[in-house]
Amino acid sequence: MEAAAQRNSVPPERALPFFTFVTAVVALAGTVTAVSLIALPSEVPALPVAFWLMAGLAVVCDARPFTPPGRRQSSAVFPSICFTFAIMLIWGEAPAIAVQAAAVVVASWRMRHTAWRALFNIAQYAIALTAAYATVQLLVPDLPYVAAVVAAAGVWFAVKYGTVTVAIRLLTGGHWWRSVSHGLAFELLSTGALLLLGPILASAARANAALIPLVVVPLYAVYRMARLSTEHEQVGRLDPLTGLANRKALLGEVADRLPGHAERAARHAAERHLALLVLDLDRFKYVNDALGHAVGDRLLVEVANRLTAAVRPQDVVARLGGDEFAILSGRLADPAEATDLANRIVDVLAEPVPIDGLPLDVGGSIGVAVYPEHGEDFETLMRHADVAMYDAKHRGDAVAVYAPDSDHSSPERLSLLADLRKVLETTGPKGAVGGGAAGVPGAGRDGAGGRDGGAGREAGGAGEITMYYQPQVEIATGEVVGVEALLRWRHPRRGMVDPEELIRVAEQSAVMRLLTRRVVDDVVEQIAKWAAAGLPLRAALNVSVRDLHTGEIADQIDDRLTRYGVPPDRLQLEITEGALMADPHRVLATIARLDRIGVAIALDDFGTGYSSMQHLRRLPLSEVKVDRSFVLGMTDDADDAAIVRSIIELAGALGLRVVAEGVEDERTWRMLHAAGCHVAQGWFYARPMPADELVSWLARYHPLRPHPIT
């Protein structure tokens, strides 16, 4: 073993207690060994060849110590231990201390240790050998020799390991138990084996000095096996392409550093923060596809070199896989330093990488998570840095710091998703389950945003998902021509759940499929019930991007329409331009199948997406819905009014029906009527309501009086 420090520098806040302890150990060593060492020169001439042989082997063997990776800094293996322990058993502690000191000097020179570090190591060994020798002298009269030697080895280990552990704790901080336990098993095995080899060497020396060199063979075999094990572990902790640390090594680094940062945070000390940055390269797939994986690999190696050059020596750069990297930066006085580091990396990557004369751009997005603000363990920090990275990509920024608002996979939302699955699996397939099903902003709206609270409070029992319906009224005649299905859920603990939040969570999981199937079942069955009661209403429901990607929804709708005997034109699906842009080819294929079935398609939130003219020309649409953000501003904003009129004129020229969402007052209704809008929905007519309330509302509704009925 060796002294406890990975670097020769000592943190300023720990310098005094650490060096005080080092001074105390050195002083104690000088005190307990002074008498025996003073008498040593007179004993040297009488020392036999066996002693000098073991002394020479101890010094030579310690010229090649090694430290297994992933161990604490004190875990280097020094073969001299077995020789000096044997010398102590035969000739006493003074010769053993002298030989051990010579071996430490050689090892420290080879490992470039500072003078104080070498002195501290010598002092540790001196105290350990003195304590072990005293144990043997004390126990031999009363115990068998073997038992006394084993006890002495235990005392040696306890003293040496204890002093190193205290030094590590004072130097790096952290919890005492972690300082004691980290690496204990390895050192018990390696150091214990060397110590217990000492009595065997002592017996060989007493029998014949020529037997002593033979111990080099098993020592070398152990050394080689340990070296191979070390190399194997190193391979498991390094990325084979770039030579950077991998995820496993990064996990170990975080685990090693967190205790010290935790202590600094508790003391409100400076440099208490630790930052984890996750970098994902942009357009790397294009490089692989266009130029081949060999060029892609060379690009990754260059990125690794640039990242290593951009960070501090004590920071850790790791490759997580593919084109994703991570940087662990500790001892930050302020979280803003992490952002500064991220911006510095962005600048470093801004310069194109020339490969075979071709300059390649290697920009990327970086997510930042800071300890302890954004997490207190590796997995939490990594997940939050990932969330921030994807947030940066989504916003088109180079750097983003973790924000809970952008975390769609927070524990709260995961819990919400689990509750949603539970509700879907425990209520019957024809139960009060609903819809809006499905993943677009309109699924959670009634034309008045948060003002739907009153309707939500009338939802079914606690923990039930319910379908509400909002009338769609023809502006010219006041006739109710359809309804839009909207999702409502009263959670047993959270109360009314924001439908948009619910859909954002569900759409990223398999629960979305369960929700959509139930919504389609419920809406189609409700259409059939209305038809049987003499109400030939058309119902519109929103569908998610996930539904449109799989195409399964077309088969499901065809099956349900046939089962309930509902004409296809009584059902309308609303899609958004965002859904189209997610994967145009697969979405268009699904829409084409629905059109062949006879289901009408409406383009929802029109005016807020992209390539609107192209969509209007190519899609088999029957209707466009003007986004409520424009409708709500018509009466006060001339630009909004102009946009609405333009959409109405464009859709009319293409033969499409126009529906305005968010109609909340008579003035807006009159402006839409004057502009030639066909259909309106909103609080001016009615708020969303359950199916049975809708029937009652229709019975009281008068087409010539389009105001809400109270």
Answering whether pTM is above 0.85, one says no
- Predicted local distance difference test score (pLDDT) of residue 215: 79
Pair (225, 263) in one structural domain: no
- Predicted local distance difference test score (pLDDT) of residue 70: 45
Any idea what DSSP says for residue 568? G
Q: Are 589 and 553 in contact (CB under 8 A)?
A: no
Q: Are 65 and 77 in contact (CB under 8 A)?
A: yes
Q: How many CA atoms lie within 13 A of 422 on its CB side?
A: 12
Pair (327, 258) in one structural domain: yes
Beta bridge partners of 601: 573
Q: Which two tokens stand for residue 98?
A: 């002298």
- Predicted local distance difference test score (pLDDT) of residue 208: 87
Average pLDDT, the chain: 79
User: C-alpha angle with apex 102: 99 to 107, nearest 5 degrees?
Assistant: 125
Where does a domain end: 406, 440, 463? 406
Q: How many CA atoms lie within 13 A of 116 on its CB side?
A: 16
Beta bridge partners of 573: 541, 601
- Predicted local distance difference test score (pLDDT) of residue 393: 81
Q: Is residue 664 part of a domain?
A: yes
Q: Name residue, tokens 């520098």.
A: 9
Q: Name residue, tokens 């000592």.
A: 10
- The Cα–Cα gap between 542 and 605 comes to 11
Task: Say how many residues make up the chain.
Answer: 710
- Predicted local distance difference test score (pLDDT) of residue 631: 92
Pair (113, 253) in one structural domain: no
- The one-letter code for the residue type at 413 is R
Instruction: Give the per-residue SS3 of 360-398.
Output: ECCCEEEEEEEECCCCCCHHHHHHHHHHHHHHHHHHCCC
Nearest to 78 by CA among 106, 97, 98, 47: 106
Tell me the pLDDT tens digit for each residue of 326-353: 998 877 777 788 899 999 999 998 888 8
Instruction: Give the per-residue SS3 of 308-353.
Output: HHHCCCCCEEEEEECCEEEEEEEEECCCHHHHHHHHHHHHHHHCCE
Q: Is residue 3 part of a domain?
A: no
Range of the domain at 301: 247-406
Q: Is residue 242 part of a domain?
A: no
Pair (207, 264) in one structural domain: no
- Predicted local distance difference test score (pLDDT) of residue 179: 53
- Predicted local distance difference test score (pLDDT) of residue 66: 58
Q: Name residue, tokens 């942009």.
A: 282
Where does a domain end: 198, 213, 237? 237
Pair (223, 107) in one structural domain: yes
Q: Are 393 and 281 in contact (CB under 8 A)?
A: no
Total number of domains in the chain: 3
- Predicted local distance difference test score (pLDDT) of residue 396: 76
Rg (the chain; Cα; Å): 38
- The Cα–Cα gap between 133 and 218 comes to 26
- Predicted local distance difference test score (pLDDT) of residue 547: 78
User: Which secondary structure element, helix H or strand E, spans residue 626, and what is its range?
Assistant: strand 623-626
Pair (111, 228) in one structural domain: yes
- The Cα–Cα gap between 658 and 254 comes to 57
Pair (142, 94) in one structural domain: yes
Instruction: Give the per-residue SS3 of 175-240.
Output: CHHHHHHCCHHHHHHHHHHHHHHHHHHHHHHHHCHHHHHHHHHHHHHHHHHHHHHHHHHHHHHECC
Q: Are 523 and 541 in contact (CB under 8 A)?
A: yes
Alpha helices, H only, 533-636: 545-550, 552-564, 577-582, 584-597, 612-618, 628-632
- Predicted local distance difference test score (pLDDT) of residue 331: 75
- Predicted local distance difference test score (pLDDT) of residue 266: 53
Q: Is residue 571 part of a domain?
A: yes
- The Cα–Cα gap between 212 and 201 comes to 7
Q: Which two tokens stand for residue 236?
A: 């498991």
User: Which secondary structure element, helix H or strand E, spans residue 679, and what is its range?
Assistant: strand 679-681
CATH number at residue 560: 3.20.20.450
Q: Give the three-state DSSP class for 661.
A: strand
Pair (224, 318) in one structural domain: no
Q: Is residue 2 part of a domain?
A: no
Q: Is residue 710 part of a domain?
A: no
- Predicted local distance difference test score (pLDDT) of residue 448: 36
User: Which secondary structure element, helix H or strand E, spans residue 643, and what is its range?
Assistant: helix 638-653
Q: Is residue 263 part of a domain?
A: yes
Q: Is residue 81 part of a domain?
A: yes
Tell me the pLDDT tens digit for each residue of 236-269: 677 878 888 887 777 766 766 665 555 555 555 5
Sequential DSSP letters for 27-76: HHHHHHHHHHHHHHHHHGGG--HHHHHHHHHHHHHTTS-B--TTS-TT--
Pair (374, 495) in one structural domain: no
Pair (628, 690) in one structural domain: yes
Pair (521, 647) in one structural domain: yes
CATH number at residue 120: 1.10.1760.20
Beta bridge partners of 279: 325, 366
Where does a domain end: 406, 426, 458? 406
Torsion sign, CA atoms 411, 417, 420, 422: negative
**pLDDT beneath 70: ranges in the chain:** 1-15, 65-76, 171-183, 186, 222-223, 225-236, 252-253, 255-272, 405-412, 427-463, 504-505, 508-509, 577-584, 607-617, 704-710
Residues with catalytic roles: 661
Pair (152, 228) in one structural domain: yes
- The Cα–Cα gap between 546 and 558 comes to 18
Q: Name residue, tokens 């004129």.
A: 649
- 23: phi then psi, degrees, rounded to nearest 5: -60, -40
- The Cα–Cα gap between 10 and 19 comes to 9
CATH number at residue 268: 3.30.70.270
